[in-house]
C-alpha cells in the first residue's frame, strides 16, 4: 500500500505543479487545507461565484421585474467544490 500511496502522491504533486500558480493556490486552499470557497475568494480577492465580478455585472441586463436575490449564504459550510466541510 505504501508504494501505491507514493505513486498517487507523486501524480497529485505533478498535477498541481502543472497548474498555473493562481489555480494551484485555489486547489490547495480548498481541497488540501479544506477552506470554504467563500474564505478562499475573500483572501484571494476574487468574486465569490463565477459571473459575479464587476465586468460581468455591467454586461448583464437587469431583470425586468424579479425581486432582488439575497447573496447571503449564512450557515453554508461547503468546501470550494461544494462538498460538505468536514467537522473541525
In tens, the pLDDT along 59-73 reads: 555 556 555 554 444
Residues pairing with 84 in the sheet: 78
How much is the pTM?
0.49
Write out pLDDT tens, residues 17-58: 999 998 999 999 998 899 998 999 999 998 887 666 555 555
Amino acid at each position: 500500500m505504501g508504494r501505491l500511496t507514493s505513486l498517487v502522491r507523486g501524480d497529485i504533486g505533478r498535477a498541481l505543479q502543472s497548474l498555473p500558480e493562481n489555480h494551484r493556490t485555489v486547489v490547495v486552499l480548498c481541497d488540501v487545507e479544506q477552506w470554504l470557497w467563500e474564505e478562499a475568494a475573500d483572501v484571494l480577492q476574487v468574486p465569490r461565484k463565477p459571473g459575479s465580478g464587476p465586468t460581468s455585472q455591467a454586461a448583464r441586463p437587469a431583470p425586468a421585474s424579479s425581486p432582488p436575490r439575497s447573496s447571503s449564504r449564512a450557515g453554508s459550510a461547503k468546501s470550494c467544490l461544494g462538498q460538505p466541510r468536514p467537522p473541525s
